[in-house]
Each structure stands twice: as C-alpha cells, then as structure tokens.
Amino acid sequence: MVVAAAQNSAEKSGRPETPRSENPRHVTVLGSTGSVGRNTVELIARDPDSYVVEALTAGRNVAHLAEQARSLRPKLAVIADSAGYGALRDALQGTGIEVAAGAEAVVEAALRPADWIMAAIVGAAGLEPTLAAARRGAVVAFANKECLVCAGPLMMDLVRDCGATLLPVDSEHNAIFQVFDFERRSSIRRLMLTASGGPFRQADRETMAAASPAQACAHPTWRMGAKISVDSATMMNKGLEIIEAHFLFAMPEDRIDVLVHPQSVIHSMVEYVDGSVLAQLGTPDMRTPIAFALGWPERIEAPAARLDLISAGTLTFEPPDPVRFPALRLARHALQSGGGAPTILNAANEVAVQGFLEGRIGFLDIEVVVEETLAKLPHSRLDNLDTVRHIDMEARREAGTIMARRSDKT
Ligand code: NDP
C-alpha cells in the first residue's frame, strides 16, 4: 500500500506507519537467486540475528538456491522448475530445511507467515505469489513491476482491502516514496522519473538494429538481470515504470514525466505546486533501496558506496528521444487505453525480450512485436484475475505468432 498504508496512517498520525514486528523480523525472499534477490540475501546475511527466514524461492538455479539456503537456514526452499526438485532435495539433505517445487509451491512459500516479503521474481510469473503475500496483509517489498503493470487496479484494490503494505524497491519509485508527501498529495504537481538512457542512449537506429543480447545487457550504470537490462536498452523499463508509478502513487499519466539523467545519481523527483522539487540521491546500487525497504520505517546500514558529489562531477539531464525509443509512447498509450492494454503490453514485451535474448528476433523487433500485439487484441476490461490470466495468455500467443513471422524474415 504504499499508498494505501501510507494514506491510512496519514489519517491518524500523518506519517506512514509500519506493521513491523518485534525483532527478529520474519522474512521471505521470492526470486532469491536473481539480481535483486541476491542483494536482499546479502543484506539479511549481514545481520542474521535480526531475521528469521521463512522461505527462499528460485526459478531454476538449484545450486545457488541451495547455497543461500545452507547459509540463511530458511524453513522452506522452493524451486519453481519442478525438474530441479531432486537436486535441491539432495543438496539440502540433512539440513532440516523443507524442500518443495513447482509454481504452486512458490505461492505456498508466499503464504508462509513472514511479515516481510521481497517480491523479486521477474515477469508476470511473480503475480500469484505477490498477490498471495498481499492477501495475508504482509509488508511486500515490491521489485517485480511487471505484476503491477499486468494487474494494477486489481492488485491495488487487494492491497488496500487486505491491509497489506507495498514498499517500492525499484530505485525510482523508492526515491519518490521517500520524498512524496502522502498527507498533502494535492500539493504535488508531478513526478519526475529519471532514466539512465541505457546502453543505446546515443546510438542510432542502425546500430540498435544490429545489437546483440550482450550489448543490450551491458547497462552503463546498473548491474541487473537480463530482462530488465533489455527493457532499459529499449526504454520499455521506463514505460513500465510510468505505469508502476501511476498505480503506486495514484498519479495520472500526464503528471508523470521522464528525464534522462545518465549519471544515475538522482533516482527520481517530486515537484510540488510551490515550485519545490524534492529528490533522493545516491550511488546506483540496489542495496540502498532494498535496505530502505528491509529496515522501514527505520534506516539500516547498507554496504553501498557513499555518494561523493565532487567526484560525481557534473549531473546532466536531457529529454528522452521518442523516435529512437518508441517503447515510452507504447507504454503511455497502453496506460491511457486502460483495461487490459497494460497486460497486453507487458505480456508481449516479455515474449519479445525472451525471443531477442534467444537470438530469434532483432533488438528493434521487440517494439514491433509489442506494438502489433497491442493493435491486434481488444483492450478488454480487467474484471478479475481470471480476465488478467486470459488476456495475458492471449497476448503471449499473439506475440509469439508475430515474432515467428518476423524471425522467418531474418
Ligand atoms: P533476475 O532475472 O536477476 O532474477 C529473477 C528471479 O526470478 C530469479 O530468482 C529467478 O530464478 C526467478 N524466476 C524466474 N522465473 C521464475 C518463475 N517462472 N517462477 C519463479 N521464479 C522465477 O531479475 P532481477 O532481479 O533483475 O529483477 C527482478 C524483478 O525486479 C524484475 O521485475 C525487475 O524488473 C525488478 N527490478 C530489478 C532491478 C535490478 O536491479 N535487478 C531494479 C528494479 C526493479 P532463477 O534465477 O533461479 O531461474
């Protein structure tokens, strides 16, 4: 609830409050083997007396999950890919750690009684477990933006109705959360999301057309998983973040701006009606927003390098280029269209990014697959989760067909 929790508490004391339990805090990490997950595990491991780990979950990386489990001693370790069950069971034999596998077991992990859950699965695969955690009224440290993009209104309703708390972990939304005046939202004029511009900030379309997955994943300032790295290269990541900010902060699309800031020092800003602009700054290191969420409402130490503004030097800003990066327009269009359009955008983008990473389509085909899928399918209403699942499935099927046509051409 960022917003819901923050709003409720604002009614009482005017400041966001937390349902934080007594020490040690009971935590679960969904997606523990990924980039955000590993950073989260690292922070927990720095202060083991402060946490009881209920569950760790991974997609396929049995070896790393087993290593994390031996170190953090969760009660449950889950591998989503059922083929990894035997290997995980063998690796954790004799530890007393319960082992499970499959998508349902990941949801089961989210249902365990952790009062703080890191949602760091990549893609819409994280939707059901994140919703399961929200239904329990947990504090959800929220990294998995795709699930808010594909089911935003339903998720925010559920978070509000179940008294859950969404703490944004995405560095931009975390920055906004830190400077957003929940008591006086009418005094806020607009949100300014900063973007590094990605590896192709200055590239021409010809260079982008020939880009390899390795080049697209070579982010200039952040070290992240492959999917979000490609999203940063197309700038679809910023499009997804506009949608994420719209839902998290209940802000209309036309009051969410994007500003390219290649140094990634200012993580985002909020402009107020009196002209004041409040920003959160730091070195580009996800351990800072993760630590913010892990300790909230207190601050805990994070091993991120301290910001030295003198050596950071000049901070620069430029508008995003809508011609070289059409993904921003597509995302805004999907948000304006409403209903299932963001669900379609997200599903088509996931399929296309995967196709690009597997070498089946070129980099610039990603935007074509997304645009054509959005144009082809009706933007139906999002009545319930079954509708989300149906729209998501249809969009994946359609995007797959469009992608197959394009890969035939190459
Ligand atoms: P990674 O690809 O590095 O990690 C993804 C995690 O999800 C891994 O633990 C992976 O397991 C797991 N996973 C993948 N597929 C499934 C599945 N079907 N079921 C269950 N688990 C699965 O991603 P990131 O950590 O980079 O990103 C995670 C989320 O956080 C994304 O939504 C991203 O947009 C967001 N985010 C990431 C940032 C970053 O700095 N990385 C910054 C801001 C937001 P395994 O590896 O074992 O297969």
Average per-residue pLDDT in the chain?
94
Banded pLDDT at 6 (limits 50, 70, 90): very low
What is the per-residue pLDDT across 384-399, written as a single tens digit (0 to 9) for each? 999 999 999 999 999 9
Q: What mean pLDDT do residues 52-56 have?
A: 98
| Sequence letter at residue 134 | A
Is there a domain that residue 115 lies in? Answer: yes
pLDDT of residue 408: 75
Question: Is 254 among the domain residues?
Answer: no
Residue 159, domain member (yes or no):
yes
**pLDDT > 90 in the chain, percent:** 92
Q: Amino acid identity of 154?
A: L
The SS3 call for residue 303 is coil
From the DSSP assignment, how many helices (H) and strands (E) are in the chain?
Answer: 18, 11
**DSSP 3-state percent helix, strand, coil across the chain (nearest 5):** 50, 15, 35
Q: Looking at residues 189-217, what average pLDDT do you find?
A: 97
Cα end-to-end span (Å), the chain = 45
Ligand 1 residue neighbourhood (C-beta within 6 Å): 31-37, 58-61, 80, 106, 120-122, 125, 143-146, 170, 222, 224-228, 286
**pLDDT of 12 over the 90 cut:** no
Angstrom CA distances, 328 to 5, 172, 182, 313, 390, stand at: 30, 16, 27, 29, 25
User: Is 30 within the bounds of a domain?
Assistant: yes
State the total domains in the chain. Answer: 1
Is pLDDT above 80 for 3? no
- The angle that helices 236-249 and 341-357 make with each other, rounded to 10 degrees, is 150
The verdict on residue 215 lying in a domain is: no
What's the pLDDT tens digit per position in 67-102? 999 999 999 999 999 999 999 999 999 999 999 999
Residues 6+ apart with CB under 8 A from 181: 187, 188, 270, 272
Q: Which residues are 101's β-sheet partners? A: 79
Query: What is the Cα–Cα distance from 210 to 218, expressed in whole angstroms?
Result: 15
* Domain, as residue range, for 40: 2-169
Closest CA to ligand 1's atom 21: 59
CATH number at residue 13: 3.40.50.720
Other Cβ atoms within 10 Å of 32 Cβ, number: 29
Residue 354 has pLDDT above 80, yes or no: yes
Asked if residue 80 is part of any domain, the answer here is yes
Question: How far apart are the CA of 342 and the centre of ligand 1, in A?
Answer: 20
Residue 207 confidence class, pLDDT cut points 50, 70, 90: very high
Residue 40 in domain: yes
User: Could you tell me the pTM of the whole model?
Assistant: 0.95
149 inside domain:
yes
C-alpha to C-alpha distance for 262 and 391, rounded to whole angstroms: 36
The pLDDT confidence band at residue 20, using thresholds 50, 70 and 90, is: low
Cα of 387 vs centre of ligand 1, distance in Å, is 24
